[in-house]
Chains A and B, each alone.
Chain A
Amino acid sequence: MTPFWVALLIKLGVTTVLLIAISLLLFIVSWAERKQSALIQDRIGANRAKLFGVRAWGLWHNLADTLKLILKEDYVPPTGDKLLHTLAPFLAMFCAMASFAVIPYGPPVTLFGHTFDLQVAPLNVGLLYIFAMMSIGIYGFVLAGYASNNNYAFLGGLRAASQMISYEVTMGATIVGLLLCYNTLDLQQMVIRQGDLLWGWLPAWGLVLQPVGFFLFMAAGTAETKRIPFDLPEGESEIIGYYVEYSGMKYGMFFSADLLESILVACLAATLFLGGWQLPYLTAGGFLLPGGLTWALPHWLVVALQVGAFAFKVVLVSWVMMTVRWTLPRFRYDQLMKLGWTFLLPISLANILLTGAVIVALGA
């Protein structure tokens, strides 16, 4: 039995690593988004901020922006609700951050005789927890619109609420197919089961078992995080958005919450559909190729490879989401609702039906 203080230290270590990784990813994603859009549109992008005479391809612009946001006046509209207005960005940010707690970013690790999961909270209802957090996160955006006492902000908040709730239905329905396949809500267990091989050579990743589910999840996930082409809650030319009355770091928190949510969806997509930290044919003892070839690797190297594989997948999914963002025009609001309720939801329900039928037919 692990003594309490050792367990505490381990938990702190696991949490710190995750927190640093997320902050770094947030930093890099907001930079990459600028530079990628610039290259796509034949521009250079932000490149003027200089630190110690080094421009570093505009990396410092994030620091400059953060500094600017912190130093700006924090304005609460006089007719607005001060408490809720202040609470909203914290709620949005908190829910986005807290959802990462159940993402397993590595295999079970043995260190000095103690075995632990590379996962902050090994919950057996991890997936439900994430959905709960996302649902509470909606309150942040609705409150922002409500507490500002501004019609435009209110419209933005309403749009955010109805959009996120609509697409959460699709997202939830998409996940059911996976639950039927893996029989668990525990994300770590789900990833471990994705290490199985079908017919001895095909990794049983969610993408292989639920190809339709993957596309539905990506579409619903993009809508859930309010990113282009589904960024209806914010429309600079029409309603501005739920954050119209926000300035300074509170606005920055909404901005980061949005980015964090998109990273979260990337993490979820990697965990649920792309095998999480699984590298094909890499088992705890080393590589085990389908032909019977084996290549033993030390424990630390296996862990490093698998954590690296997870990071790579998350970056890849984020990248795809950003590319789609800079490719597609936005939907109109009625098109968005039509797409969600009359197109994605029926397909996801049919997907559940088909998955269930196949599982019953196979007698599994």
Chain B
Amino acid sequence: MNDEQRRKERLDRGLKVRADSLYALMSWRELGYLTLPRFVLIAGILVMPFLMPSMYWQRVISVACIYAILAMSFDLLAHYVGLVSLGGAFFIGTGGYIAAVLNTSLGIPPLVCIPIAAIAGGVICTILLLPCLPLRGVYFAIVTLMYPLALGRVIEALDILGGTDGILGVESFPNRWVEQYFVIAMVLLFLFGLRRLVNVDLGLVLRAVKDNDQAVKASGMSIAFFKALAVFIASGMGCLAGACIVHIYMWSGISLFALDFSILPIAATVIGGGGTLVGPVLGCFILVPISELLREFGTLRIVAYSVILMAFVVFRSEGIMNYGQRKYHQFERWVKV
């Protein structure tokens, strides 16, 4: 009986193996293999504003960058620490309102407001999320889901912080190029910063919390502390994004707590490839322009994101970047068994 069976085998490309070690420095080809994707990314993102046909679309790029920062924070929390944040809007709203208040009441210039809002907002959000950190992931999801909804209503009901009208008259950036490149710089900073972070010792501990928290506890470290640290980083990023958007639109209102900010980062992460930190950025740059094009259709956008999101998650698509990385680094072939 000659029953030949085959199976698919995935191997790292030779180029990757050579490029993995120090010997990559010996050859232009290997160096190129490593640096080309990063170069394309950086160059692409820096050049994009010039390629845009109008100021309207340049603003869309800025908004996409804001979403990208939020999506990266979602990816960090979900795929590296194991906490699913269903309410990105919570961070955006907190950061946005803090920046708006600092700017309109205290007259602080935007470029100073933003860092302050990021850090202050990070602290506030972390404190508010502290109770659910020692517990299972489901509680974190529930609480992050609820905070934006509840806060929106509280502001509306108490009519504080501008109530339904919001806070008007927030200063804008000095000029539109600063606006544009500031957010782009933030995206690149966080992207490369986070990618570095998850590979240093602290990042390894965070990833270990997701992988096997009992072992981390048995090693003498408090899970709640490291989760809180991760939440601080993520919420700081989200608040920074919120502060930026408030200065772009020159207005801060309840719509900062809208579902858009909660669901689009998740959809972008899932489509772009979770766990890669680049995937969410890519996903945002795909989804935000589409969202602009669909603007006339109102909340159909959210329906569309939700359906796509659900389809990707359930049918377990790995996302664009995961697929891309796999193809780039590995090849497949049939092998006789």
Task: Tell me whether A and B are bound partners.
Answer: no
Spell out B's residues near A (CB within 8 Å): none
Q: Which residues of A contact B (CB under 8 A)?
A: none
